[in-house]
Structure 1
Amino acid sequence: MERIFRPFLSIVILCSSSVCTGQDWNQFRGPRRNGSTTESSLLSKWPDGGPAMLWSFEGLGKGFASVSVVEGTIYTTGMIEKTGYLFAIYDNGNLKWKKEYGPEWTGSYPGTRTTPTVDGDRLYIMSGRGRIACFKREEGDLVWQVDTLDKFQGKNIKWGIAESVLIDGDKVFCTPGGKDATIVALNKHTGQTIWTTKGLSNLSAYCSPILYETPKKRLLFTMVEKLIVCVDSENGKVLWTIPHETRNDIAAVTPLRYCQGRVYFTSHGTGGTMIRFPQDGSSYTELWSSKALDCLHGGVVLQRGLCGSDSKGNWVQQNISTGEVIFQEKLLDAKGSIACADRMLYCYSEKGTLALVEPRHDGMKLVSSFKITKGTGEHWAHPVICNGRLYIRHGDVLMAFDIKKK
């Protein structure tokens, strides 16, 4: 979900739902799925060469999955040969356990793509081949698994399923893309089906959903092959859809919740739109749209406006209320992924530049940067900030950097 920005922090927290407490980063894009954390007392400038690397772990295999961090243990996935593995790593870089979960994605850009979701003493993963599995967090024992593409007559997509599942209450939500099961809710304890959406007939589109709780409803928002979708999370009723064509059917950016019934959606080649909805979710109004921030899969955050990178390699800052472009320049050497903590942006380019950026009212200022040299393959895993540490995954290697202010 979203990592957070002041001065709207208290408002956004009221708009949020979360399955963890404290500063744990328990799922993709953080505790509120917005790429942001409430952590403070972090370095406002890095030393030459970057912050101190505390440790690195090699042996993850191929993958672009980010990490989840809960109670001092880091969880992620990787593919070794053709098999997917779930890793638990102590926060000193030592392996706690490693568990096999079956075949992984071996098509274009092979490797794992989804981040584990931690909920209490369980964790949940979705493979690039559409298999969802639940494990015991402490020992790594398998509890249940479901092949969602087979069970719901779904079809895999060009670059493999890339959705990090969402947990709310007793439900786990995912998007197998079946004819009458584009989105489904499973019982998180057993894997049994609770509901499926009817009539959407859209494939998955690499998007991880969010939940927005109002006084009247718990609403699920996501993007699928050709649509923006709002669903009643209690029963799977589709409340409304918005046509949303994207380049190569890629809608990989997690929607961003904002206060007062607003959600921002953006995607590759199409750009973004801000919508508002009533508390019962029965309708929507488009407040503004803009092609400026047509993010591929690096995510967006809210800190002095909407911030992220566009498809042309620019880093972009927009006014959240109007969509007006504040900044749009090639701040780094490529587009990339973004996270936010302590009023600063952590920008990780696809060419391996990791940067600390200050968002100002008149644009973004590059403060510090250095190159990630460990690991191989694409620099696609999103940065994670937790307990004064910055976690970066690059292919086979996971690194932990000390960013706590002394």
Structure 2
Amino acid sequence: MKLRTILTVAATVFVLAAGTTTSPAKIWTQAASGKKIEADLVKVENGTAFLRLADGRIGEVPVASLTAEDQDYIKNFNKPVVADGWPNFRGAKLDGISPDKGLLKTWPANGPEKVWTYENAGNGYASVSVSGGKVFTIGTRESDVVVIALDEATGNELWSKKISTDDQQGYNAGWGHGPRSTPTYSEGHVYALGPKGTLACLSAEDGNVVWRRHMIDDFGGRAGGWGFSESPFIEGDKLVIGPGGQTAGLVALNKKTGEVMWKAEEVKPGKAEYATVVPADINGVHQYIRLFEKQVVGVDADSGKLLWSSPWDGATAVIPTPIVDGNRVYIGSGYGKGCKMIEIDSNFNTTDDWQNKIMKNHHGGFIKVGDHIYGFSDGAGLICQSWDDGEMVWNEKDGQFLAKGSVTVADGMIYCLNEQNGACTLGKISPDGFEKGGQFILEPQSEIRHNQGKIWSHPVVINGRLYLRDQDLIHCYNLKP
């Protein structure tokens, strides 16, 4: 058996242990003892280096205790914290694909090893974001909407902060109340949206509120029937979000102050609906794309000026986040509506390349890998669809374990969370067909979930760990060999 070294976090010293390693970025050496460790440098703060081990744990070591060579490396280290982990809904690239490598390709019969469970996330369908050694989420405890930070290694609560109240009025709480939006992390701050429209910026260190805005009161917005649900999109100093309404369907705020940078006053969509903004570069113009109930739009990133729009006949709830590749934009929604591929020409005129009902995705999201799209389609189960022509390549229900749910992708595998029974299924992601690598039932499941509610929070895979949330419960599993 190969030896490796690990950090003893509390004492911040090097010790020896037995085990196997993957291929982390660098070997670090303690000057006094000569002991070594293989780890990836996450960040440096106040003279302390934060190192991620192969098993996903994060250790702290004084920079001054390392060799001169290692200290020189740290001096030149300029990896921003924002690039670390899974800072927002659907990940750093907003594509639903984790950068993780070296993960398990098959699971034991009872699933991967559970690392920890947190039991006080409150009501709601938010997922988690992970960055800087912390896990962030949002939920409703009694009538308080609270943003929560957990320690990534242990699941212990670091802080929780109320940003608004949730009286379960003004939006449809018949399938369960609480936030539906996942918080976004950026440069030491967390940005969170409550179901009734409160948008808040908090310090990631202690949860202190820096600023608040309101989607209706400040921007004339209008929620969809199930409340405000999109996740804040951040790029540079801008936070871009879609309050909907007839005043400005999209707004950009200074993320540091909450002040308005621009309003997309040509975009008047009515209901905000539920999709999240995605960035794109089309015809050399950087832009933000947002799907609403009756249209999808692209606006200039610097000014909010409308560049193009394409109609969509959405109904009831339009939820999935669009996919952009080159000058093609893929959109879809559930309730029998299906999907379409939009092509944008050099003058920003749009044409529908194809449209069908192969992918009728309710709210579990879809992901592009190579030349194919993967996700759940109502009635068909998990499907693989051709990006080029929209045709079905394959579908799989695995009995009813893959009937309907949400997905994420990591290291060539797709992780599928069944909304009905909490079955989490691992499969090889390939246009050649579905090959199962493991399956387990999420346990325990929430006792406070509404009797009509289901397990709708999207799964997250990052730093060698799988995160699954069911209302008040957040489960963390180890995916490393």
Same fold per superposition (TM over 0.5): yes
Answer whether contact 2:99 2:462 (CA < 8 A) is retained: no
Deviates more, 1:236-245 or 1:323-332: 323-332
In structure 1, stretches of 5+ residues that fail to align are: 1-18
Answer whether contact 1:40 1:341 (CA < 8 A) is retained: yes
Report what 1:374 is aligned to: 444
Report what 1:164 is aligned to: 231
Following TM superposition, the consecutive aligned residue runs of length 4 or more in structure 1 with deviations greater than 4 angstroms are 19-23
Report what 1:3 is aligned to: none
SS at 1:134's partner residue? strand
Residue 96 (structure 1) shift: 0.7
Report what 1:12 is aligned to: none
Report what 1:393 is aligned to: 469
Within the candidate set 301, 307, 329, 2:374 is matched to 307
Structure 2 residue 337 is the aligned partner of structure 1 residue 261 = no
Within the candidate set 283, 287, 299, 1:231 is matched to 299
Distance 1:105 1:177, change over 3 A: farther
Q: Percent identity?
A: 33
1:118-177: CA deviation from partner (whole Å, max 9, x where unpaired):
111111111111111111111111110001211122222211111101011221111111
- Larger RCO, structures 1/2 (Cα 8 Å, 6+ apart): 1
Map 1:102-181 onto structure 2 (within 5 A): 102-104=164-166, 106=168, 107-108=172-173, 109-181=176-248
Q: What is the CA–CA distance in structure 1 between the aligned matches of 2:98 and 2:192, rounded to whole Å?
A: 22
Answer whether contact 2:82 2:186 (CA < 8 A) is retained: no
In structure 2, stretches of 5+ residues that fail to align are: 1-79
Answer whether contact 1:144 1:190 (CA < 8 A) is retained: yes
Report what 1:190 is aligned to: 257
SS at 2:216's partner residue? helix
Structure 2 residue 399 is the aligned partner of structure 1 residue 323 = no
Task: Name the TM-score, length of structure 1 as normaliser.
Answer: 0.91
1:75-118: CA deviation from partner (whole Å, max 9, x where unpaired):
00010112101110002111111111111372422011111111
Structure 2 residue 323 is the aligned partner of structure 1 residue 243 = no
Residue 361 (structure 1) shift: 2.7
Answer whether contact 1:220 1:230 (CA < 8 A) is retained: yes
Residue 211 (structure 1) shift: 0.6
Report what 2:410 is aligned to: 341
Residue 358 (structure 1) shift: 1.3
Answer whether contact 1:56 1:93 (CA < 8 A) is retained: yes
Q: What is the CA–CA distance in structure 2 between the aligned matches of 1:287 and 1:301, rounded to whole Å?
A: 19
Answer whether contact 1:382 1:392 (CA < 8 A) is retained: yes
Answer whether contact 1:132 1:145 (CA < 8 A) is retained: yes
Residue 225 (structure 1) shift: 2.4
Within the candidate set 127, 138, 162, 1:66 is matched to 127
Q: What is the CA–CA distance in structure 2 between the aligned matches of 1:83 and 1:312, rounded to whole Å?
A: 37
Q: What is the CA–CA distance in structure 1 between the aligned matches of 2:349 and 2:377, rounded to whole Å?
A: 29
Aligned length: 385
Q: What is the CA–CA distance in structure 1 between the aligned matches of 2:459 and 2:440, rounded to whole Å?
A: 14
1:215-243: CA deviation from partner (whole Å, max 9, x where unpaired):
72211111112111111121111112111
Q: What is the CA–CA distance in structure 1 between the aligned matches of 2:292 and 2:441, rounded to whole Å?
A: 35
Residue 22 (structure 1) shift: 4.9
Answer whether contact 2:310 2:350 (CA < 8 A) is retained: no
Task: Name the TM-score, length of structure 2 as normaliser.
Answer: 0.77
Amino acid in the other structure paired with 2:466:
L
Deviates more, 1:213-222 or 1:58-67: 213-222
Report what 1:47 is aligned to: 108
SS at 1:363's partner residue? coil
1:176-211: CA deviation from partner (whole Å, max 9, x where unpaired):
112121111111111111211224321211111101
Amino acid in the other structure paired with 2:157:
L
Structure 2 residue 97 is the aligned partner of structure 1 residue 36 = yes
Within the candidate set 417, 425, 434, 1:355 is matched to 425
Residue 21 (structure 1) shift: 5.5
Answer whether contact 1:77 1:87 (CA < 8 A) is retained: yes
Q: What is the CA–CA distance in structure 1 between the aligned matches of 2:437 and 2:279, rounded to whole Å?
A: 34
Answer whether contact 2:237 2:254 (CA < 8 A) is retained: yes
SS at 2:123's partner residue? coil
